[in-house]
């Protein structure tokens, strides 16, 4: 690799998802990309020789440290970190178990901070670098039936904003992405595996829960490759923006966050409950 080539680490790169498309786009722009997922077989199909696949469990601190140190040993740097790994938590929050709550935050919030904390020292040492956190428009306005995910992404948004302020004196930038609907596999498997408790109070709302599960993949969702193109263009620019929202319904949610909270939440209730 040349000294001018950017080295990019991306989490959550399974085929058919946002992370996979980001890997291809960064690689197409000449970057060396480290694509990671819990299992190598989920990342089949990359076309670029600039993409290097590694296993990484973002909820395991030792695994994170091993991966980061391997990259630094091979390339001497990580220019851009993209914290993309995440997953929805469909179901009534009133019936969520502590394990479900903990797992949602581990994957969507704590993992991004763990990986960032492992990479930041090397960025501070070089006085440059970019951390890209993939949040969500539901981190702006809560929706029913996916409340844990909303809460975890809202926490990630706050962490991103604080991290940006604290990293600025050391030349490291933080970019928060709040996607709306983008075509991916995020809800495909959950439709088949969704199971409410046998004693649930929400059985009559199951169709609404399934509707919410599929919302991000509704007609009008942004093409994954177009999403990746726009994000990578901004990330590789001379001045990456601190915040970017794009995808289906992103403009709506951006506006809703500035309206009276009672109105925004009433709209969510009417659309997804009654």
Enumerate the active-site residues: 149, 153
State the alpha helices, DSSP H only, in 60-217: 61-75, 98-105, 111-126, 147-167, 188-193, 206-213
Cα distance between residue 132 and residue 260, in whole Å: 30
Cα distance between residue 129 and residue 159, in whole Å: 17
Q: Which H/E stretch holds residue 130?
A: strand 129-134
Helix/strand/coil (H, E, C) string of 17-54?
CHHHHHHHHHHHCCCEEEEEECCHHHHCCCCCCCEEEE
Radius of gyration of the CA atoms of the chain, in A:
19
């Amino acid at each position: 690799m040349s000294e001018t080539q950017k080295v990019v680490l991306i989490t959550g790169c399974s085929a058919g998802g946002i992370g996979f498309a980001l890997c291809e786009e960064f690689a197409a722009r000449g970057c060396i990309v480290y694509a990671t997922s819990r299992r190598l077989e989920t990342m089949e199909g990359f076309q670029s020789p600039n993409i290097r696949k590694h296993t990484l469990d973002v909820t395991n601190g030792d695994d994170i440290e091993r991966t980061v140190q391997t990259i630094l040993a091979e390339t001497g740097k990580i220019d851009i970190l993209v914290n993309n790994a995440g997953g929805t938590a469909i179901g009534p929050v009133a019936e969520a178990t502590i394990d479900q709550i903990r797992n949602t935050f581990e994957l969507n919030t704590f993992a991004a901070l763990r990986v960032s904390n492992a990479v930041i020292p090397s960025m501070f040492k070089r006085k440059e670098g970019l951390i890209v956190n993939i949040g969500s428009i539901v981190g702006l306005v809560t929706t029913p039936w996916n409340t844990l995910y909303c809460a975890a992404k809202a926490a990630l948004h706050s962490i991103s904003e604080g991290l940006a302020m604290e990293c600025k004196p050391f030349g490291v930038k933080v970019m928060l992405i709040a996607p709306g609907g983008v075509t991916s596999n995020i809800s495909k498997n959950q439709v088949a595996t969704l199971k409410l408790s046998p004693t649930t109070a929400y059985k009559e709302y199951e169709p609404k829960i399934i509707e919410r599960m599929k919302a991000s993949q509704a007609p009008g969702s942004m093409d994954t490759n177009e999403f990746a193109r726009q994000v990578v263009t901004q990330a590789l620019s001379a001045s990456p923006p601190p915040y970017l929202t794009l995808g289906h319904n992103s403009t709506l949610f951006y506006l809703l966050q500035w309206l009276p909270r009672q109105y925004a939440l009433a709209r969510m209730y009417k659309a997804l409950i009654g």
